[in-house]
Amino acid sequence: MPVTITTRVDDKLAKLIDKIAEKEGMDRSTILRRFLIKSANKWLIEKSLKDYEEGRITLRQAAKVCNLSLWEIIDEVKKGNIHVPYTLEDLQEDLRGLDE
C-alpha cells in the first residue's frame, strides 16, 4: 500500500524538479518517485559493495541484498573499481585445496 511522505526543499531545488518534470512530460510526484527509487537503489549497491570490500559479506550476499543477479553485481564491482578482498593467504589455501 502506498505511503505518503512529505519533505521540504528549497525553492531552487523545487524549480529544478519542476523543470525536469516538464521536460519529461510528467508530474512532480512521478519525477520524485523515480529519483527516490534510483537513489535508494544506488545507495544500497554502494553500501553492499563497501561491505563486500571490507569482507563483511560475500559477493553472492551483496547480489541478494541488492536484488541483482551475480553477473549484475560483478558489473557493479567493475564499475566501482572495488578491491576484491582476496589475500595471499586465501590463494595459498585455495591452492592447498587443489592438492587434496
Break the chain into its structural domains and give their ranges: 11-99
- Contact call for residues 48 and 66 (beta carbons, < 8 A): yes
pLDDT band at 66 (very low <50, low <70, confident <90, very high): very high
Q: Output the pLDDT for position 100.
A: 61
Q: What's the predicted TM-score (pTM) here?
A: 0.77
Question: What is the C-alpha to C-alpha distance for residues 100 and 92, in angstroms, rounded to an integer?
Answer: 13
Residue 32 pLDDT exceeds 70:
yes
* 54 against 25, higher pLDDT: 25
Residue 4 pLDDT exceeds 80:
yes
The alpha-helical segments, DSSP class H, found in the chain are 11-24, 28-53, 59-66, 70-79, 88-99
Residue 1 pLDDT exceeds 90:
no
